[in-house]
């Protein structure tokens, strides 16, 4: 199968690597507005050739959008305009509702399959591509009923080939749940990094004293703004909802320490410990 991947960064590069290694793709064309990304993807042999968008779409059986969600929203209708009825396009964006709405009435809407593979790291660029990145992870399909059966089957085979487990949600539910379990984690990490950078002026002290707990909590703060600002923008309402709850919980913990109510603080921490039951 001839595959064109729009966006050759961490996600697109890791997927290209997997599809070439497992033989799903006979030829991978890469498209990227970042010339350095394209050159690196070629050097690392993640892609077989580079092309401009029209040529990449025309030559592919499957077109994959692995770019920031705001770019997907505007690129997807353009890609569909270039396609014929035998091709398939899928996205890998972390939000779904606005992306799906952008092509709701497009004549070739059925050629689009909306997905979100639940994997990523704080790193960026094709040089950060990871072998076996998607294996054992979950991919969310949205609005499956609006995709043509053959288009859906093509994308299902792709995710099967890289070892992902499939689940299904409507676009609105997807955006709500990822705000609660993914997007707020990044905001909390950014906030912690800003807090430490503001309060701890000695960089050597941060480097020397940062423990594993701090490093794991703040790791997501290394994630690029170019990817995450559009996510927070597109998922604004749900992000604000979960942020309000997060702030409420922080205020509760703060109050317990201020009032020296350590028994209540212990109860709250034990409630939080229950997350281990879910995330073993």
Predicted confidence at residue 187, as pLDDT, reads 95
Q: How many residues does the chain have?
A: 280
Distance CA 127, CA 139 (A): 23
Predicted confidence at residue 215, as pLDDT, reads 76
* 86 contacts: CB under 8 Å, gap ≥ 6: 61
Predicted confidence at residue 212, as pLDDT, reads 65
3-state DSSP helix/strand/coil % of the chain, to nearest 5: 60, 15, 30
- The one-digit pLDDT tens for each residue of the chain (280 residues) are 999 999 999 999 999 999 999 999 999 999 999 999 999 999 999 999 999 999 999 999 999 999 999 999 999 999 999 999 999 999 999 999 999 999 999 999 999 999 999 999 999 999 999 999 999 999 999 999 999 999 999 999 999 999 999 999 999 999 999 999 999 999 999 998 998 888 777 666 666 666 667 777 788 999 999 999 999 999 999 999 999 999 999 999 999 999 999 999 999 999 999 988 877 6
Predicted confidence at residue 253, as pLDDT, reads 96
* 121 CB-contact burial (10 Å; exposed 0-12 / middle 13-18 / buried 19+): middle
Predicted confidence at residue 200, as pLDDT, reads 72
List residues bridging with 6 in a β-sheet.
Answer: 31, 65
Predicted confidence at residue 203, as pLDDT, reads 67
Distance CA 133, CA 113 (A): 21
Strand order in the sheet with 2-6: 49-50, 27-31, 2-6, 62-65, 88-91, 112-117, 138-142, 165-169
Predicted confidence at residue 108, as pLDDT, reads 98
Predicted confidence at residue 279, as pLDDT, reads 75
Task: Considering only the C-alpha atoms of the chain, give the largest distance between any 2 of them, rounded to a whole number of Å.
Answer: 67
Over residues 206-241, the pLDDT tens digits come to: 666 666 677 777 889 999 999 999 999 999 999 999
Predicted confidence at residue 195, as pLDDT, reads 87
Structural domains of the chain sorted by starting position, each given as residue range(s) with its CATH number in brackets: 2-169 (3.40.50.720), 174-278 (1.10.3660.10)
Number of Cβ atoms within 10 Å of the Cβ of 4: 28
Could you tell me where the beta strands, DSSP code E, fall in the chain?
2-6, 27-31, 49-50, 62-65, 88-91, 112-117, 138-142, 165-169
**Rg (Cα) of the chain, in Å, rounded?**
21
Predicted confidence at residue 266, as pLDDT, reads 96
Cα 112 to Cα 21, 85, 92, 98, 153: the distances in Å are 25, 11, 12, 14, 12
Predicted confidence at residue 164, as pLDDT, reads 98
**Nearest Cα residue to 173 out of 112, 116, 90:** 116
């Amino acid at each position: 199968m001839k595959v064109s991947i729009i966006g050759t960064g961490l996600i697109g590069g890791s997927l290209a690597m997997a599809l070439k290694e497992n033989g799903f793709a006979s030829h991978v064309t890469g498209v990227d507005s970042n010339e350095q990304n394209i050159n690196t993807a070629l050097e690392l042999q993640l892609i077989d050739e580079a092309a401009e968008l029209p040529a990449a779409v025309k030559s592919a059986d499957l077109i994959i959008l692995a770019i920031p969600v705001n770019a997907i929203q505007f690129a997807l209708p353009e890609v569909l305009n270039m396609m014929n009825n035998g091709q398939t396009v899928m996205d890998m964006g972390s939000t779904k509702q606005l992306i799906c709405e952008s092509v709701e009435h497009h004549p070739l809407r059925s050629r689009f399959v909306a997905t979100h593979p639940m994997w990523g790291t704080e790193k960026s660029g094709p040089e950060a591509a990871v072998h076996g990145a998607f294996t054992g992870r979950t991919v969310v399909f949205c609005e499956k009923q609006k995709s043509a059966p053959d288009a859906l089957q093509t994308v299902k085979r792709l995710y099967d080939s890289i070892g992902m487990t499939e689940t299904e949600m409507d676009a609105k539910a997807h955006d709500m749940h990822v705000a609660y379990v993914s997007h707020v984690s990044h905001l909390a990490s950014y906030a912690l990094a800003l807090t430490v950078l503001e309060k701890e002026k000695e960089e050597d002290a941060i480097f020397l004293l940062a423990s594993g707990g701090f490093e794991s909590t703040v790791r997501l703060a290394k994630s690029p703004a170019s990817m995450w600002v559009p996510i927070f923008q597109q998922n604004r309402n749900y992000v604000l909802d979960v942020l309000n709850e997060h702030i409420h919980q922080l205020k509760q913990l703060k109050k317990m320490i201020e009032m020296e109510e350590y028994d209540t603080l212990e109860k709250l921490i034990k409630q939080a410990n229950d997350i281990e039951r879910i995330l073993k």
